Chains A and B, each alone.
Chain A
Amino acid sequence: MRKYLVNSTYCIYLLDIGEFYSNEAIFTIKEVAEEIGHERGIELTVPLTQTKKTSLQIKSHLLSNTDILLLQTAKAMDFILVTDDQKIIIEANRNGVHALDTPHFIHRLLVENKWAEERAFNALNKLRSLYNRGYIIDKVIKDITNWR
């Protein structure tokens, strides 16, 4: 089973639109869970995975320790990193870590039969009013429409 490692952006976006979702294949790390607890005052229900250290070729001054831990853990455990922070995605690209943003991950949830199409469209439409790149929402909605 394919496994995912989610960053705080995924958690905050889905909490804010009232569509938070996790399952047995979705993990995060303690540092992210603590951050969400601090930001939103809730205990995150996502299973935690141990962080792993591995070598990365990164511009470390641009990232925080938690960002680096997410990248290292995703690489070491062969998880797909789910983040909307493009600066992390760029470093994922340079280090062979697979990465998705939240709208594309919603598309994956649909493909993997975890979400119904109606839920995916509703979530994407709600996310539009919060998301950091509006055109990605339109793109994913178009992709889903073409995919079905």
Chain B
Amino acid sequence: MSESIVVNITLSKEAVTYLDNEAKKTYLSRATVAKQLLLQHIDELKVINARRLGYSIRKISEMYGIDYAKIIGILHTTQVDAGDKEADAYVEGTMKKLSEKG
């Protein structure tokens, strides 16, 4: 089991107000909401960096222990995959070949 370490951070009043509003809506503590947001952002950064290095979704899931479906969600919110011309062109090529074959 991984070790947990306490971290003290200072935030702006606006950020704390945001956390408090979210905490009120979700019936969670301010600290829990802050922790969830931080962990979510860390997961997003891990996924973005790994995608840019060329790792597949499943490989990222295995490396970081992030659920496959959660990674799909992160790929939607970040759109980090957008503009991969090689993959997009290859799919278009497959469509063209299938159309030619009938």
Contact = CB atoms under 8 A, between A and B. Distances in A.
Interface of A: 2, 8-9, 12-13, 35, 39-40, 59, 62-64, 66-67, 80, 84-90, 92-93, 98-101, 104, 107-108, 111, 129-136
Chain B at the A interface: mostly helix, strand, loop or mixed? Answer: helix
A111 B94 contact: no
Contacts of B73: 130
Contacts, number: 103
User: Nearest 3 A-B pairs (CB), nearest first?
Assistant: A86-B87, A132-B75, A64-B58
A90 B69 contact: no
Q: How large is the interface on B (under 10, 10 to 19, 20 to 34, 35 or more residues)?
A: 20 to 34
Chain A at the B interface: mostly helix, strand, loop or mixed? Answer: helix
B86 A132 contact: no
A89 B87 contact: yes
A64 B56 contact: yes
Nearest to A59: B54
